[in-house]
Structure 1
């Protein structure tokens, strides 16, 4: 049986059309000889428009063009090839001017004249995956470092500042602020970076912070606002600045979900923050919130160990400690120390006649008056 013989030129044309890789051939002067359909799709040019044009002017970023021309001249002068017959990653440029990452293998075609063909793949998606992975690893390292700082026993002010700085660094944004919920329920500004999105002191700043925290809690613990949402929030008085492109707030939760504060970051660029950033912000908030709650619990335990739980006055261990301090100071300064004994006349009869609850109220009142006129 006779086999049909397909001309090699026809085979070459079929391969060029079917190849998923971009294929570009140039002559010794860098002029384009071939530009297959995949290259057309990749770079945004039509083949007939680029044949004969210098490749460097079309698909090589301006910053790299002269290096390309020097390399081509070196090859023609008999110099050693540096990137021939191996896959390398380079930047390329589309017709619309955008720069993107490619993987290219260049080979010299056989023949009497110097002809070079490049087989090109767009690796933008691959680079994006690599970038996201590197970013994820870097953020995990930041969370671990913050956790180590928390274990070192930082107080709420330092911890809020460290957590905020970590969040700003991890998200690469311009501004940030941190507030904590005081024991009396109010908000206290702990730290700010740049021009904080919750800038200002007192009212109306405190009210704005409280309302923004409530909205953040209602949104599930984190709230991302961009564009019109930022403008609307500023118009409602939630934000004191209306020139921000995006804002991300995250609530700090302690034991059993109790709110202990809030972190907020912002940037002028409305695209600087994305929904995926909320997970990192929440991880930072979890570390800071848990550590603040633990610090407060430890402080409360210490307080209860040194103060009378009813009146808040010093108990015997704290009294003896303060007495020793006073005696040591008097000895150093060659002065005197005094102890004041206070008795409540008729307290026993009052306690018996009106009950222990009334007696406790009297003790609390007397303790408050003593604390108001005597040093702690």
Structure 2
């Protein structure tokens, strides 16, 4: 699907090119006189058409016309008649014979009220086509659903992720109205209302931001999505909306479960009265329990309301005062999370809950409630967020697994290393990463960790999604419950392929050096060092066996003269030939060396 129209089969087109990022394309600029002769040649003209200025100046601009494009389609001709021509898509002929798709804009030049020539701008659309292909690849591979509609709400584009999310194929939805395809019936009127108002110039809370709402699948079920919409003005009154939608079912479910759990926890905390207090609204006296006095690190069990508020962190004090007043005036429960500062400067996080007690006439006389110290939880959440950020950004693959070897988490580096996205890896057996020749290794590692050992820097090989075997280093440790029980394992995997390749290369280099030290590079005979070793062995053997050994020394006479008369290469050939001859005429147990 092309974002830019191409010339038709006839080679001519007066189609207006949609507005787009002109800076992405090469642009040639040229000028002609009233007779159509080229008077200026600049911009990317030489790069686009292959002609140097001296090759075109003074020649007719018609030289750039392909045989299939008629002279009447030339925007410069029309500009010479006084017309301003905006972005006509057509073709032009390069010096090498290539036909170049271009968008041409042209305008006349004037002097004394008369047309004195014309200037044309040529945009190379091949750059757009390459850019569009890359963008298309991104849209087709992104995990977010992508949908584009026109100003009337008709679907113009629909990527594979949208097919998976909503159950409609691209062929089925193109041209359909969006609200009849993926918008639940109860929301369709609001969608159409917003579309009309945006076209009339009104602002929209959806366009340009991120919102959470529901979409409707083909089978009628609803799916919560996070939606971001952007308008694109193509010019000429043509408007397109692009939308990216992400399935947030898991996020929504987790949020609902978290909220429900939080409410249950709050109820349990309120009943437990971990730190209770009672505020007499008439006198301002606040009576606190022993536990709350400990939380505040104050000996007094009775304080004035002003003293209590003075312990609240300055950044939270005004808000807490306003929430207390709202509860007293409006009768709603007091609910507030805030910080206090202890006498020693220690900052604690509290979660306060309270209710108003009224007399028979409905006047507020007391507020009673509890404060829960949530400092450890708040700091733990912050530490968890920091740890999660570290795990997400590290270059090492990090994963966790149960003691049965089922993957429970998988970071971005693991996806890059193995090729499996998180949703494909989590829930699978970690054995899928183990090559057949290392079957059983993973179970042994898990058993070692379960028994309390920590695996550090264990070098092995793993299997990637595309079947490659890679060298890795493993560090595996136990994840324990508060009672010390091992419940999962944490594994850090580092790609050591580059290091292993370097080690193999070093080994080859070492072997090559050893070979060079053992054998003469020119003749292939053993070197002087090897000669001495062989001689020592022969003499030792002769001593042990009371035998003799012989040394034959061959001197090559006249070698220097050969080198001087016929060149060094001839001398080298002579030495190699002599070495071969000697080897052929020696027994297998004879040692032949070049000394």
TM over 0.5: no
Q: Which has the higher strand share?
A: 2
Q: Which has the higher helix share?
A: 1
Scaled by the length of structure 2, the TM-score of the pair is: 0.25
Scaled by the length of structure 1, the TM-score of the pair is: 0.38
